Amino acid sequence: MDENGGRRWRCTRIAKFAFLWAKQIFTAKRHVQQSMILVPMDSPGLTIVRPLTTYGHYDAPGGHAELDFNNVRVPASNLLVGEGAGFMIAQGRLGPGRIHHCMRLIGHCERSIDLMKERLKNRIAFGKPLAEQGVWKERVGMSRVQTDQARLMTLLAAHKMDTVGAKIAAKEIAMIKVIAPQVAQTVIDHAIQAHGAAGMNHDLPFSGMMTWARALRLADGPDEVHLQAISKLEMKK
Residues 66, 94: one domain?
Answer: no
Predicted confidence (pLDDT) at residue 61 exceeds the cutoff of 70: no
Residue 25's closest CA among 8, 1, 49? 1
Residues 6 or more apart whose Cβ sits within 8 Å of residue 97 = 220
Backbone angles phi, psi at 34, to 5 degrees: -95, 150
Contact between 175 and 152 under an 8 Å Cβ cutoff? The reply is no
Residues 70, 91: one domain?
Answer: no
Residue 91's closest CA among 26, 174, 152? 174
Instruction: Give the pLDDT score at 12.
Output: 53
Residues 43, 102: one domain?
Answer: no
Instruction: Give the pLDDT score at 94.
Output: 85
Among 26-40, 59-73, 178-192, top mean pLDDT goes to 178-192
Mean pLDDT of 51-56: 81
CATH of the domain at 157: 1.20.140.10
Instruction: Give the pLDDT score at 44.
Output: 94
Residues 169, 216: one domain?
Answer: yes
Instruction: Give the pLDDT score at 4.
Output: 65
Show the domain range for 153: 87-235
Residues 144, 226: one domain?
Answer: yes
Contact between 46 and 39 under an 8 Å Cβ cutoff? The reply is yes
| Domain endpoint, select from 48, 78, 108 | 78
Instruction: Give the pLDDT score at 9.
Output: 53
Instruction: Give the pLDDT score at 55.
Output: 82
Residues 162, 223: one domain?
Answer: yes
Predicted confidence (pLDDT) at residue 154 exceeds the cutoff of 80: yes
CATH of the domain at 51: 2.40.110.10
Write out pLDDT tens, residues 74-90. Answer: 999 999 999 989 888 88
Instruction: Give the pLDDT score at 77.
Output: 94
Residues 91, 73: one domain?
Answer: no
- Greater confidence, 186 or 53? 186
Longest dimension (CA), the chain: 73
Q: How far is CA 198 from CA 135, 144, 179, 188, 223, in A?
A: 20, 23, 27, 13, 31
Least confident window among 3-12, 51-60, 168-177:
3-12
| Domain endpoint, select from 56, 78, 100 | 78
| Domain endpoint, select from 31, 60, 78 | 78
**Chain mean pLDDT for the chain:** 91
Predicted confidence (pLDDT) at residue 49 exceeds the cutoff of 90: no
